[in-house]
Amino acid sequence: LYMSGNAIRQRFLEFYASRGHKVLPSASLVPDDPTVLLTIAGMLQFKPIFLGRASRQVARATTAQRCIRTNDVENVGRTSRHHTFFEMLGNFSFGDYFKREAIHWAWELSVKEFMLPAERLWISVFKEDDEAFNIWHDEVGVPKERIKRMGEDDNFWTSGPTGPCGPCSEIYYDFYPERGYANADLGDDSRFIEFYNLVFMEFNKTEAGTLEPLLQKNIDTGLGLERMARILQKVPNNYETDLIYPIIERASELANISYMESDDRTKSHLKVIGDHMRAVVFLISDGVLPSNIGRGYVVRRLIRRAVRTGRLLGIRGDGKGNMEGAFLPVIAEIAIQLATDIDPYVSERSTCILEEIVREEQRFVQTLERGEKLLDQLLRIALSSANENGNRRACLSGKDLFLLYDTYGFPVEITAEAAEECGVSIDMEGFELEMENQRRQSQAAHNVVKLSVGNIVADDSKGIQHTEFLGYETLHALATVE
Ligand code: ATP
Ligand code: MG
Ligand code: MG
Ligand code: MG
């Protein structure tokens, strides 16, 4: 069975609507919730109901929620299944039905509506959750071999450091059933994909880290739309589905290349652009403008990474012979068209969205062009001095990284990416030390944003209210560039 992304979304909502769920609109990417920076899951808009702080208007609801997960930014283009922006289809019960119905419906949806072969579906349950195990095994009829008991990391879901949570049960699709049951590992990305998570929300995690039972037992689920589209459209990764591929095609046109004939690295660059453009379009549409703090910094980083990635692909200018022109808006146009299927409001805001993107790209290109020259030089020096010293691996020092960051406004993960491409390692510890020195020297300590490669946004988010990044523009004006 082939289904378009839009058809999958509609089928999901109709399935639950016909089982007494009210179809509600997606909430904004900007949550009404201080514990998270951006909307990371469908349950977020219902948190007050789960916690018993707001009374429910309906007992059952279903949504297609737009989500951003910045913790997955490093996975974009590397795994076949992660995006920063994705849609989570969900069905919710507010003290109404619980495990039994949630499990039976999820199964029925998977095998009867989406026509997934039952023998390809694997289940995970929380290791202590015999009740869920038994429903899957005794009632649904899934053989024991395909039900895995897993630990807290995978099968106890929490929306943040505090808040509603509970054990969960996930459904995985097996791309290679011929590999058999022995040694099957659900975490093996090349064989399995997790597509549906059913959370049995019955606890509240307090500040102290203890679990208190909620007044009612709730159901919160999430099915990844792009993942289901990938399965049903029989493509090798989420990026090649009709939800994202048109953006990638436009980017490859501008780069004068063919995605399908490209090597893995080039494909991965194109995936980054496809992903980031969707995220940027929706963030700006939801009112998040590029800036140096909090959410605005997320947009800024995504735009800048897309620009840098486009340049790696050789894209310069808007592809209409105007080399001064920005190219991201040309790609964003497609992302906006696709976004309109998700949220018609996006097209109303398209002019504003495109303007913001142009402005940010132009600003960044100026910075980049100066920094890129220096970066090339530093990489060449590192490579040749490693050569002279025998087989030692070439490395950019903490001082180099800091110079690029501090004087040229080069985000350290962009430097890291460029270095990796040349087989040069980077001294992150040295960089952190330089940062620490500067922090100590800085009179206005509160004006510094900590940057780290691994966890770009989690760190930023800690200081949302009071951090201000003085980077690119300010430091530039002061910098003497050759
Ligand atoms: P994974 O283990 O693959 O990272 P997860 O367990 O973190 O996924 P959940 O928090 O359970 O994901 O979210 C519910 C569903 O949302 C997942 O089963 C998946 O279908 C989808 N999903 C989660 N994260 C992403 C992402 N970064 N990109 C696309 N879809 C996602
Ligand atoms: Mg995850
Ligand atoms: Mg998981
Ligand atoms: Mg999960």
205, 232, 259: which is the final residue of a domain?
Answer: 232
Write the secondary structure of 335-355 as one string of H (helix), E (strand) and C (coil).
HHHHHHHHCCHHHHCHHHHHH
CA angle (75, 76, 77) in 5-degree steps:
110
Position 448 in a domain = yes
Describe the crossing of helices 428-441 and 398-406 by its angle, rounded to 10 degrees. 50
Contacts of 128 (CB under 8 A, 6+ apart): 167
Tell me what the mean pLDDT of segment 446-463 comes to. Answer: 32
Pocket probe mutation, ligand 1, options 29, 68, 70, 82, max atoms within 8 Å of Cβ: 82
Q: Tell me phi and psi for residue 23, to 5 degrees.
A: -80, 115
- Examine the domain organization and report whether 254 and 207 are in the same domain: no
Specify the ligand 1 atom closest to the Cα of 227. 20
Quick one: pLDDT at residue 442?
A: 56
Residue nearest to atom 3 of ligand 1 (CA): 194
Quick one: pLDDT at residue 364?
A: 87
Hey, how many other C-beta atoms are within 10 angstroms of the C-beta on 354? 19
Position 372 in a domain = yes
pLDDT at 271 over 60: yes
183, 199, 232: which is the final residue of a domain?
Answer: 232
Q: In sequence order, what E strands does 206-331 have?
A: 211-224
Specify the ligand 1 atom closest to the Cα of 75. 27
CA–chain centroid gap for 291, Å, is 19
Euclidean distance between the first and the last CA atom of the chain, given in angstroms as a whole number:
60
Whole-number Å distance between alpha carbons of 458 and 466: 15
- Examine the domain organization and report whether 273 and 124 are in the same domain: no
Give how many domains the chain has, as a whole number. Answer: 2
- 22, two tokens: 């009210």
- Examine the domain organization and report whether 145 and 248 are in the same domain: no
Q: Tell me if 104 sits within 8 A of 16, measured CB to CB.
A: no
Tell me what the mean pLDDT of segment 381-392 comes to. Answer: 83
CA of 424 to the centre of ligand 1 (A): 32
Q: pLDDT band at 387, cuts 50/70/90?
A: confident
CA of 224 to the centre of ligand 1 (A): 6
Residue-wise pLDDT for 125-169, tens only, equals 999 999 999 999 999 999 999 999 999 999 999 888 889 999 999
> Position of tokens 């179809």?
23
Contacts of 6 (CB under 8 A, 6+ apart): 341
Residue-wise pLDDT for 305-352, tens only, equals 999 899 889 897 776 666 557 999 999 999 999 999 999 999 999 999
Quick one: pLDDT at residue 172?
A: 98
Pocket probe mutation, ligand 1, options 159, 168, 194, max atoms within 8 Å of Cβ: 194
Hey, how many other C-beta atoms are within 10 angstroms of the C-beta on 153? 7
- Examine the domain organization and report whether 328 and 443 are in the same domain: yes
Helix (H, G, I), strand (E, B) or coil at 173: strand
CA–chain centroid gap for 90, Å, is 18
Query: Domain residues for 465?
Result: 244-478
Q: Which of 66-75, 184-193, 473-482 has the lowest mean pLDDT?
A: 473-482
Helix (H, G, I), strand (E, B) or coil at 305: helix
- Examine the domain organization and report whether 22 and 121 are in the same domain: yes
Hey, how many other C-beta atoms are within 10 angstroms of the C-beta on 193? 23
- Examine the domain organization and report whether 309 and 441 are in the same domain: yes
Residue nearest to atom 22 of ligand 1 (CA): 224
- Examine the domain organization and report whether 416 and 292 are in the same domain: yes
Specify the ligand 1 atom closest to the Cα of 195. 20
Residues of 25-58 as b/e, b for ≥16 C-beta within 10 angstroms? ebbbbebebeebbbbbbbbbbbbebbeeeeebee
Whole-number Å distance between alpha carbons of 163 and 49: 11
- Examine the domain organization and report whether 335 and 222 are in the same domain: no
202, 232, 262: which is the final residue of a domain?
Answer: 232
Which ipTM was obtained for this model? 0.99
- Examine the domain organization and report whether 94 and 62 are in the same domain: yes
Helix (H) or strand (E) holding 248: helix 245-254
Whole-number Å distance between alpha carbons of 87 and 41: 9
Position 239 in a domain = no
Q: pLDDT band at 18, cuts 50/70/90?
A: very high
Quick one: pLDDT at residue 385?
A: 87
Residue-wise pLDDT for 226-253, tens only, equals 999 999 999 999 999 999 999 999 999 9
Position 65 in a domain = yes
Quick one: pLDDT at residue 308?
A: 86
pLDDT at 375 over 90: yes
Position 237 in a domain = no
Position 267 in a domain = yes
Specify the ligand 1 atom closest to the Cα of 222. 14
Quick one: pLDDT at residue 292?
A: 83
Whole-number Å distance between alpha carbons of 72 and 186: 19
Average pLDDT of the residues of the chain:
88
- Examine the domain organization and report whether 356 and 300 are in the same domain: yes
User: Which has the higher per-residue pLDDT, 469 or 35?
Assistant: 35
pLDDT at 460 over 60: no
Specify the ligand 1 atom closest to the Cα of 168. 11
Pairing mode of beta strands 211-224, 395-396:
unpaired
CA of 287 to the centre of ligand 3 (A): 30
Residue ranges with CB less than 5 Å from ion ligand 3: 194
Quick one: pLDDT at residue 91?
A: 98
Pocket probe mutation, ligand 1, options 196, 197, 228, 302, max atoms within 8 Å of Cβ: 197
Hey, how many other C-beta atoms are within 10 angstroms of the C-beta on 222? 25
Name every protein residue with a CB atom under 6 angstroms from any ligand 1 atom: 69, 72, 81-83, 86, 88, 194-197, 222-224, 226-227
Residue nearest to atom 19 of ligand 1 (CA): 224
Hey, how many other C-beta atoms are within 10 angstroms of the C-beta on 392? 10
Whole-number Å distance between alpha carbons of 69 and 37: 10
Specify the ligand 1 atom closest to the Cα of 72. 27
- Examine the domain organization and report whether 219 and 316 are in the same domain: no
Quick one: pLDDT at residue 322?
A: 60
User: Which has the higher per-residue pLDDT, 393 or 204?
Assistant: 204
Tell me what the mean pLDDT of segment 401-406 comes to. Answer: 89
Q: What is the CATH number of the domain that holds 88?
A: 3.30.930.10
Tell me what the mean pLDDT of segment 373-391 comes to. Answer: 87
Residue nearest to atom 4 of ligand 1 (CA): 82
Quick one: pLDDT at residue 293?
A: 86
Q: Tell me phi and psi for residue 166, to 5 degrees.
A: 170, 170
The residue among 199, 260, 244 whose CA lies nearest residue 47 is 199
Position 461 in a domain = yes
Pocket probe mutation, ligand 1, options 81, 123, 168, 231, max atoms within 8 Å of Cβ: 81
Tell me what the mean pLDDT of segment 368-377 comes to. Answer: 86
- Examine the domain organization and report whether 218 and 262 are in the same domain: no
Q: Tell me if 154 sits within 8 A of 129, measured CB to CB.
A: no
CA of 128 to the centre of ligand 2 (A): 21
CA of 36 to the centre of ligand 1 (A): 17
Hey, how many other C-beta atoms are within 10 angstroms of the C-beta on 441? 8
Position 161 in a domain = yes
